[in-house]
Amino acid sequence: MVYKEIAEGVYEIDILGADDKELDGISTGRCLGLSRQEMLKIKAYFKGEGRNPTDVELEALAQSWSEHCCYKSSRPVLEKTVFCINAPQNICVISEDAAIVDFDEEYAYVVALESHNHPSALDPYGGAATGIGGILRDVVCMGAQPVALVDPIFFGPLDFPEGSLPKGTKRPKYLFQGVVKGIADYGNRVGIPTVAGMVAFDESYVGNCLVNVGCIGMVRKDKVTHSRAGAPGDVYIVAGGKTGRDGIHGVTFASAELSRESEKDIPAVQLGYAIMKEPLIHACLEVNDKGLITGMKDFGGGGLSCVSSEMAHAGGMGATVNLDEIPLKEKGIKPWEIWVSESQERMMLAARPENARKVLEVFDFWDVPAGVIGAVDGSSRIKATYKGKTVLDLDLEFLNKGVRYERKYKVVERNEKDPAFDMPDLNKAVLDVLGSASVGSRESVIRRYDHEVRAATVLKPMQGIINHETHGDAAVIKPLEKSFRGLAITADVNPRMCRQNPYWGSASAVDEVIRNLTAVNAAPHSMADCLNFGNPEKEEIMGDFVSACEGLYFAANGFGVPFVSGNVSLYNESSMGPVAPTPALMGVGIVEDVRQAISSDIKEADNSIYLVGQTEKELGGSQYYRTLGLAAGVVPRVQPGRTKKDSQDLRKSMGKGIVRSCHDLSEGGLIVAIAEMCFGGNLGAKIDLTGISGLRTDFKMFSESNGRWLVEVKKGDEKEFERIVDARRIGAVTKEKNIVIIDSNIKLNLPLDELRSKWSSAVEPER
C-alpha cells in the first residue's frame, strides 16, 4: 500500500488504487474499525473528490462512523421504540449532548447518562474517573451547573476463581476496587456529590465489566447554550487540558469486542485530571452567564475531530481548525493523533471574534489554559491545516451522517417454566439471600463517595438512625437555594431478569424506577437509558437488543414517562461471551416539597405495615432462585396502568402526612424489603402472610413481582390510608429486635442482629 508524505507527518493513502483486500488491510492496520462496505463507501466519496484521502481524513471518518458515535446499529431500533414515548406534556426543552428538562418556570434540570466500559476493563481507576469527567462535561456544555452524580456499575462475582480467568482478564475484585476508587477520587475532588447508583454482580461481567455514569445539572432557561457554532465568523476556542496520546482510538476501541490482545489498547484510555476540571467548570459557566459565547461542546469521543465537525454541522456551518495552535503534552505528536486524541478536561467554545479576548480573560482568571484555534465559515465543510498546508477537507454531511444498518436479528425464546423443588429451610434461605453480594449492603461503596458536598442532599443514599442506616430507594436533592422543590434520583436494572427475558426484564427496570421514585414521594418525571449489549452483528444479540427496547417502550409509554437522554454501548463481549442484556436506567422525579420526602427506615413501634400491589409466583431471575442454583422461572410482568394508579394514590397519602416510611419490593422480595426497613429504624416487625392466598410461603417471601411497596402507616391513620390506597395490612412495627413471619402453620423468628450481620458483610471492598 502506497503512503505518500504530503506534509510533515501527514500522509496521503492510496485507496483509489486499492482492491477489497487492501482496503481491509488499511482498516485493520490503522485500527480504524471500518468494514469493507464502509471502506468502499469512503473510496467512492474520494473518487468523487478526485483524490486520495490523507491519514487525518481517514481517521476522522473512523471516529464519526464508529458505533460509539453514530449509533449505526441501534438508531433504527431506537427510532421505533424509546424515541416514541407519549409523555403527558412536552417536558423536554432541548436534547443535545444532554437533555434539558423543565423543573419550574425559571429553571430546567439537565440529564446525561453514559458508558465507560471498555476503558474501565483495561484501567479500572482511570476508566471510571474519566467516565465521571466526561459526563460532567456533557452537562456543563449545556450551560448547566452539575449538582449530582450517579454510578450504575457491574462486575463479575468478587470471589470468581482466579484460575478460571482467561489470559488478559483482570480479577473482578481488582476491577471493582479500582472503579469505586476512580469514581470516588474524581467526584470528590471536583466537588460534585455522588448521590445514587447501583452495584450488580454477575458471571457475564467477568470478561467485560460495565461502568455507567450519570449526571444531573441545573440551568436557568434563559442561560441554556447549545452544542453548535453560532454563525460564520465565529472563532473556535479550546480551553482546559493539553492534547496528548492518551485516548487515541477511544471510540473505535469501544466499538469492538474485548479480547486477550486488548491490553495493547491501553493508550485508548484517557488520563483524568480532576483538579483542572473544577476551575474549567467555573470558567465555562461564567463565560456563558456573561453571554460571551455562541456555543459550547465538550471534547468527548473522537476528540477534536468530532467536536469541531459536529459543532459546525449542527449550526449548518463549516469550520477550519489550525492544528499548530493546539496545546500539546509532548513533542512529536502526529497531526492525525492531535485530531482524534481524547485527552481529558477539554472544552470547545464558539464566540464572536469581538468577544474572544473577554473569553480568554475569564479563563486566565481561573488559571485555565485557553486559545483560539480556528474559525467558523459557511462552507459546510470541515478543514484542518498543519504547518500552512490543508491536511483535512471533508464534506460535513458525509462525515457526520455516517452509516446506518438494519441489522438482522433473531429473538431467542427463553425457558420460563418454573422449576419443581421442595421448600428449603426458610431460616437459612433468608440468611443466604441477605448475605448475597447482589442484595447485601452497599454502605462500604457509598461511604467512599462524598454524597453531601454542596449541602443539597436532603435524602441520602443510606437512610435511618445513625450507625444503623439502610438502603434508600432514591436520593433527594434540593437544587435551588430559594425553593423547596426537589429532584429525586435513582438508578435501576436487574441483569438476571434481562438475561432470562430481555423484554420483561427491561420493562421491569422501568417499573422499578417508578417504584423507587414514588417511595420517596416523588412524581416520576423523566428517564435516561444506557443500553449495554454485546456484538450487534450477531443475530441473537441484536434480537436481545430489539426485545429490550420494545420492553422499555411498552413500560415507559404505559407510565407516560419519557426517555430524554441516553447512550448505547455495544460490543460488550470478551472471550467469555457477551454481558447480560443491561439496559441501565436513571430515573428523575419531582418532589414538590423536599420537607415531605419519605425515607425507607421504619419509625415507631405499633405503626401498621401495608403491602401495596399484587404478589405472584414470578421468580425468574430472582435472587432466591439464584441462591438455590435454579434456572428458568417466570420473569415478573409489568402492569403500568395498575402500578401508575397505586403510585399516584401512594403519593396522595404521603401528602397527607400519614405515611412514615416506604420501601419498594425488588431483589430478594418482601423479606429483604422488610429487613432493610427494620435495619434503618433498629426496630422489629411482625408480618402475617396468610392473607396472600394461592402461593407457597417461600414464594410469598421471595417473589420479585413488580408494582409493590411496603408502607409504614402511622397508628390511628389506617382507615384514612385504606380509603386512599388499595393495600393489604400485613403486620406492625415492634419494639423487639426481630422479624416474625407467620403464614398458616409456619412461623419464623428472625433475630435482627443476625440478619444485619449477614447483610452488612456481603460486600466489603478492601481499603
Cell of 386: 498543519
Across the strands, what pairs with 392? 384
Cβ–Cβ under 8 Å, residues 443 and 760:
yes
Of the chain, the end-to-end C-alpha distance in Å amounts to 53
Cβ–Cβ under 8 Å, residues 528 and 213:
no
Nearest to 583 by CA among 667, 502, 664, 666: 502
Q: What does the alpha-carbon distance between residue 521 and residue 472 come to, in Å, rounded to a whole number?
A: 12
Cell of 228: 453548535
Q: What does the alpha-carbon distance between residue 176 and residue 195 come to, in Å, rounded to a whole number?
A: 18
The letter for the amino acid at 365 is F
DSSP class of residue 328? B
Cβ–Cβ under 8 Å, residues 370 and 363:
yes
Cβ–Cβ under 8 Å, residues 87 and 558:
no
- C-alpha distances in angstroms, 606 versus 598, 602, 633, 751? 19, 11, 37, 18
Q: What does the alpha-carbon distance between residue 200 and residue 763 come to, in Å, rounded to a whole number?
A: 11
Cβ–Cβ under 8 Å, residues 427 and 675:
no
3-state DSSP assignment of residue 668: coil
Other CB atoms within 10 A of residue 388 CB:
8
Nearest to 767 by CA among 436, 438, 445: 445
Q: What is the CA radius of gyration of the chain?
A: 27
Q: What does the alpha-carbon distance between residue 31 and residue 441 come to, in Å, rounded to a whole number?
A: 42
Cβ–Cβ under 8 Å, residues 601 and 669:
no
Nearest to 61 by CA among 15, 126, 125, 5: 15
Q: What is the DSSP secondary-structure string of 569-603?
A: E---EETTEEPPPEEEEEEEEEES-GGG---SS--
Residue at grid coordinates 433468608: 430
Catalytic residues, by residue number, are: 68, 116
In 366-410, the DSSP E strands lie at: 370-377, 381-386, 389-395
3-state DSSP assignment of residue 108: strand
Residue 353 contacts by C-beta under 8 Å, 6 or more apart in sequence? 233, 234, 235
Residue 354 contacts by C-beta under 8 Å, 6 or more apart in sequence? none
Cell of 56: 487525518
